[in-house]
Structure 1
Amino acid sequence: MKNELILRTKQFGLQCWKFCFKVPKSREYNAFVNQLIRSSSSVGANYRAAQRAKSTADVIYKLKIVEEEADESVYF
């Protein structure tokens, strides 16, 4: 399960990046595209960080960040 989620979160970031590449380049879209790239790539990075957490409380804290970044990605 752990390895599956690592792969899925990485794929999510890559799929968002590919989507953003297809969005027309314009001043109106740039802020949204940049934020989506940041938040979607943060999902995988923070999930990996949660795997190296030092305590159960640290795991929970890092997974909450993953949840927040995923929700932000959905928004954008």
Structure 2
Amino acid sequence: MTDAEDLRGRTKAFALRVIVMYSALSRRDPAQVLGRQVLRSATSVGANYREAQRGRSKAEFIAKIGDCLKELDETAYWLALLEEAAIVPAAKLVALRDECNQLLAIFTAISKKAKG
């Protein structure tokens, strides 16, 4: 398996884990509002990565990787809010937040390499 295939799988698995977390949220407004935000940003990472792989130019690839970074950063924000608002216990978010941070590091490295 190539690194690109592995990252495709990781971003998809990350999205699926967020979908499961969202499905378990309370139906109260704050949980649903924050949940929809994290659902949107987390599921778009994999889609943007796939678009980057099909980019027609280096500039397009770099732009889509930048979109991945933006969405991951936003996902980290929403996950932190879910925890700090006591909507989801911190212990239940540890693995998701860790994977989000690892993906941020990976996409940062890809971006730097592509620009360099």
Pick the TM interval, shorter chain: over 0.9
- Aligned pair count reads 76
Which TM-score applies when normalising by structure 1? 0.96
Residue in 2 that maps onto 1:32: 34
- Greater relative CO, 1 or 2 (CA 8 Å, sep 6+): 1
Greater Rg, structure 1 or structure 2?
Answer: 2
Q: Name the SS of the counterpart of 1:53 in structure 2.
A: coil
Q: Structure 1: give runs of 5+ residues left out of the alignment.
A: none
Please report how far the alpha carbon of residue 30 of structure 1 lies from its aligned counterpart in structure 2 after TM superposition: 1.3
Poorly superposed stretches of 4+, deviation over 3 Å: none
CA distance in 1, matches of 2:15, 2:73: 13
Give the alignment's TM-score, normalised by structure 2. Answer: 0.64
Q: Distance in 2 between matches of 1:72 and 1:16?
A: 13
Cα-Cα RMSD: 0.7
5+ residue gaps in structure 2? 79-116
